[in-house]
Copies of this chain bind each other. A is one copy, B any other.
Amino acid sequence: MNNFVWDKDRKSRTGVAEAVFCSHKSHADLQDIIRFNLTSESPVLFTRLSVEQWLALPSELQTQMDYDQCSATALLNFSCELSSKKQVCIVTAGTSDLAIAAEAQRTLAFNGYQAPIFSDLGVAGLWRIMEKIDEIREYKIIIALAGMEGALFSVLAGLVRAPIIAVPTSVGYGVSSEGKLALDSALGSCSPGILTVNIDNGFGAANAAIKIINQFSVD
């Protein structure tokens, strides 16, 4: 008997397919899940799949999956064409936010949406945002990532019409408290209209963006 219960109709019910959050999962449980889905042939996204977990998989499973170390994600049974519409873009405050940005980007791709990353636009040098702002304004939704004090969220929200989905990252030290400061800066911002997800939750930000697009594209 399996330890897991597969939520096979989640996509039809909520608009996004069930993904597998691999942290805390044993090697045995992970293999069971992969084999179950290989059989069912439904596309699956694996997130937080560490290099250790990946290397522990038997090679016959590895060869079936598309693994990306930077974002710690893997795709199974994936064959999606990416839309070329300018729906979502991803903005990061620094290069240290790129792993989480990649998690969001891969999650969007897995659902058919291409999303470019504008990286290293921290507010310590405002001209960097200003140089890119017209390009950024072409997108309907912005996923923004920042660690440290997270001032990027407030500045960006004052410059664009798009809703900002803020992803606080655990970049920084001391008072940054593993992302807690950037999280609170997003929530307590003086700029209205910022929406927030958990620290380092690129996956959740992408899901919310997909839900929004789904809702309005069926119009």
The contact of A165 among B10, B195, B204, B215, by CB within 8 Å, is: B195
Chain B hits for A204, CB < 8 A: 192-194
Q: How far is the CA of A23 from the CA of B10 in the complex (A)?
A: 38
Subset of 16 A-B contacts with CB under 8 Å:
A24-B171, A25-B96, A123-B151, A123-B154, A123-B155, A123-B190, A126-B158, A148-B190, A155-B155, A174-B201, A175-B184, A181-B184, A181-B188, A187-B198, A192-B208, A195-B197
Copies in the complex: 8
With both chains docked as a complex, state the minimum distance between the C-beta of A19 and any C-beta of chain B, in angstroms. Answer: 7
Pick from B4, B151, B196: contact of A185, CB below 8 A.
B151
Contacts of A208 on B, CB cut-off 8 Å?
Answer: 163, 192-195
- The answer to whether B215 touches A188 (Cβ under 8 A) is no
Out of B13, B153, B219, which one reaches A159, CB within 8 Å? B13
- The tally of residues in A whose CB lies under 8 Å from a CB in B reads 88
- Per-residue contact bits, chain A 155-186, to B (CB 8 Å; 1 contact, 0 not): 10111111101000011111111110101111
Nearest 6 Cβ contacts at the A-B interface: A174-B199, A195-B195, A24-B96, A151-B151, A216-B216, A192-B207
**Interfacial chain B residues near A219, Cβ < 8 Å:** 216, 219
